[in-house]
Amino acid sequence: MKQFVAFVRKETKHILRDRLTVLLLFSVPVVMMLLFGFAITTDVKNVRTVVVTVYSDHATQQAVERLSQSEYFTIVRTVATPREAERIIRNQKADLAIVFEKDYASKNGGLQFIVDGADPNMSQQWTTYVSQVLMNPAGGLINTKMLYNPQMKSAYNFVPAIMGILLMLICTLMTSISIVREKERGTMEVLLVSPTRPLLMIVAKVVPYLVLGFIILNFFLLMARFVLDVPLQGSVFWIYVISTIYILLALSLGLLVSNIAKTQLAALLVCAMILLMPNFMLSGMIFPIESMPRILQWASVIIPPRYYNSALRKLMIMGVGVDQVVFELTVLIAMTLILLTLSLATFKKRLE
Output DSSP code: residue 10: H
- The answer to whether 52 touches 81, Cβ cutoff 8 Å, is yes
Number of residues that bind other proteins (CB under 8 A): 94
Segment near other proteins (CB under 8 A); pick from 149-157, 203-211, 248-256, 330-338: 149-157
Residue 307 and residue 326: Cα distance in Å, rounded? 11
Site for other proteins in 243-272 (CB under 8 A): 264-266, 268-269, 272
Min CB(244)–other proteins separation in Å: 23
Applying CB under 8 A, among 2, 17, 71, 143 the residue interacting with other proteins is 143
Q: At what angle do helices 2-17 and 198-226 cross, to 10 degrees?
A: 50
The CA distance from 323 to 329, in Å, is 10
Among 1, 2, 58, 147, indicate the residue that binds other proteins (CB under 8 A): 147
**Interface segment toward other proteins; rule CB under 8 A; list 37-45, 60-68, 197-205, 240-248:** 37-45
Residues 159-218 that bind other proteins (CB under 8 A): 177, 181
Query: Does 351 interact with other proteins (rule: CB under 8 A)?
Result: no
Out of 156, 209, 220, 246, the residue judged to bind other proteins by CB under 8 A: 156
What residues between 44 and 63 interact with other proteins by CB under 8 A?
A: 44-48
CA neighbours closer than 13 Å in the CB half-sphere of residue 97: 24
Contact call for residue 124 and other proteins (CB under 8 A): yes
Nearest-approach distance from CB 9 to other proteins, in angstroms: 21
Which strands make up the sheet holding 96-100, listed edge to edge? 73-79, 47-52, 96-100
Per CB under 8 A, 128 contacts other proteins: yes
Residue 26 within binding range of other proteins, rule CB under 8 A:
no
Continuous H helices in 149-197 = 154-168, 174-185, 187-192
**Binding piece for other proteins, criterion CB under 8 A, among 110-118, 186-194, 199-207, 221-229:** 110-118
Judge residue 108's burial from the number of C-beta atoms within 10 Å of its C-beta, 0-12 exposed, 13-18 middle, 19 or more buried: exposed
CB 4: neighbour CB atoms within 10 A? 15
